Amino acid sequence: MFALTFKYKVSQVEEILRRFLPSDVTQQRVIAEAMEYALMGGGKRLRPIFMAEVYELFGGTQEDEIQPFMAAIEMIHSYSLVHDDLPAMDNDDYRRGRETTHKVYGEAMGILAGDALLNYAFETACKAFETTQDPAKVGRAVRTLAEGAGLYGMLGGQVVDVAMEGKPLTEKQIDFIYRLKTGALIETAMKVGAILAGASDEQVETIGRIAMDIGMAFQIRDDVLDVEGDTEKIGKPVGSDEKNGKCTYVTLFGLEEAKKKVEEYSDRALLAFTILEEDTGRNEFLEELIVALIARER
Please give the residue ranges that form the binding site for ligand FPP (CB under 6 A): 43-44, 46, 80-81, 83-84, 96, 154-155, 158, 181-182, 219, 222
Nearer Cβ to Mg ion (65/84): 84
Considering the complex, what minimum distance in angstroms separates the CB of residue 148 from ligand FPP? 12
Nearer Cβ to Mg ion (187/222): 222
Nearer Cβ to Mg ion (146/160): 160
List the alpha helices (DSSP H) in the chain. 5-20, 29-39, 46-57, 63-84, 101-105, 107-125, 135-149, 154-163, 171-178, 184-196, 201-228, 231-234, 240-243, 249-253, 255-280, 284-292
Report the interhelical angle of 63-84 vs 107-125 (nearest 10°).
160
For Mg ion, how many residues bind (rule: CB under 5 A)? 2
Judge contact between 244 and 90, C-beta under 8 A: yes
Nearer Cβ to ligand FPP (140/253): 253
Stretch that binds Mg ion, among 60-68, 89-97, 191-199, 214-222 (CB under 5 A): 89-97
Q: Which does 43 bind (CB under 5 to 8 A by kind): ligand FPP, Mg ion, none?
A: ligand FPP
Considering the complex, what minimum distance in angstroms separates the CB of residue 62 from ligand FPP? 26
Nearer Cβ to Mg ion (249/273): 249
Considering the complex, what minimum distance in angstroms separates the CB of residue 57 from Mg ion? 31
Q: Which does 104 bind (CB under 5 to 8 A by kind): ligand FPP, Mg ion, none?
A: none
Q: Which does 103 bind (CB under 5 to 8 A by kind): Mg ion, ligand FPP, none?
A: none
Residues in the chain: 298
Which one-letter amino acid corresponds to residue 84? D
Judge contact between 47 and 189, C-beta under 8 A: yes
Please pick, from the candidates 56, 65, 85, 90, the single residue that binds Mg ion as defined by CB under 5 A.
90
CA distances to 181, 209, 243, 255 from 81, rounded to whole Å, are 11, 24, 18, 25
Judge contact between 185 and 77, C-beta under 8 A: yes
Please pick, from the candidates 56, 65, 84, 222, the single residue that binds Mg ion as defined by CB under 5 A.
84
Residues 257, 188, 228: CA angle, nearest 5 degrees: 30
Considering the complex, what minimum distance in angstroms separates the CB of residue 202 from ligand FPP? 28
Considering the complex, what minimum distance in angstroms separates the CB of residue 281 from ligand FPP? 27
Judge contact between 217 and 258, C-beta under 8 A: no
Considering the complex, what minimum distance in angstroms separates the CB of residue 168 from Mg ion? 17
* Cα torsion angle, 106, 28, 81, 165, sign: positive
Considering the complex, what minimum distance in angstroms separates the CB of residue 215 from ligand FPP? 9
Which is nearest to 184 in space by CA: 162, 159, 151, 221?
Answer: 151
Nearer Cβ to ligand FPP (96/103): 96
Nearer Cβ to Mg ion (74/84): 84
Q: Which residues bind Mg ion (CB under 5 A)?
A: 84, 90
